[in-house]
Amino acid sequence: MPEVPPDFSNPVYRHLLVNHLPLIGLLAGALTLAVALLTRRAVAQIPALVLIVLMAASAFLAFETGEAAYKPARASLDDPGVDWLDIHYDRAHLGIGVFYATGALAIAALLAPLKWPRSRPWLAAAVLLACLLSLLVGAWIAQAGGYASHAAIRPPLPILDDVPLPRP
């Protein structure tokens, strides 16, 4: 059987390629930063912070590919899947700012110690907390995305009291 090349023109496929990057990357960055903080090695904080900046920025890719994938994915899902996709969409719009803030804080943690060296451990600790918050928000967003596409793990829909965001 001939091997089928990946279909990079499919927006859903592109989203599936990048949507795990922010979570896995931020987890790796947070673990690296935690080790750097525990060992009190300032030089080890730099690659960890760079990784965190890059992975927080990768949330933009996941967000944008998700925007492009929304309509095609919606057309291929059953009714409960569509409802979960709408929840996923709303959560992504509510949570993306946390990733941007984490990236901005990591940039500040890279630059501020150049002028104020004593700020390094405090800023790095703040970045670590921001990473943990981003991971929690990312898991919350991803949960609904997983439920949208995997009926075998899908629980009943929650009762939603809030008004959903407008969708394309």
CA pair distance 102, 140, nearest whole angstrom: 17
36 found inside a domain: yes
5 found inside a domain: no
CA distance 156 to 84: 10
- Identify the residue whose tokens are 């920025």: 57
In a domain, 139, yes or no: yes
Give per-residue pLDDT as tens, 120-156.
999 999 999 999 999 999 999 999 999 898 877 777 7
Cα angle at 107 between 106 and 113, to 5 degrees?
95
The answer to the question of residue 131 being in a domain is: yes
Whether residue 19 lies inside any domain: the answer is: yes
| Digitized pLDDT (tens) for each residue of the chain, 168 residues in all | 556 667 788 888 899 999 999 999 999 999 999 999 999 999 999 999 999 999 999 999 999 999 999 999 999 988 888 999 999 999 999 999 999 999 999 999 999 999 999 999 999 999 999 999 999 999 999 999 998 988 777 777 765 555 556 666
Measure the CA–CA gap between 89 and 164, rounded to whole angstroms: 9
Number of domains in the chain: 1
Tell me the residue range of the domain where 55 lies: 11-152
- Angstrom distance (rounded) from CA 23 to CA 43: 24
**Is residue 102 included in any domain, yes or no?**
yes
Q: What is the pTM of this model?
A: 0.87
Distance (Å, rounded) from C-alpha 123 to C-alpha 103?
12
In a domain, 160, yes or no: no
Q: Is residue 92 part of a domain?
A: yes
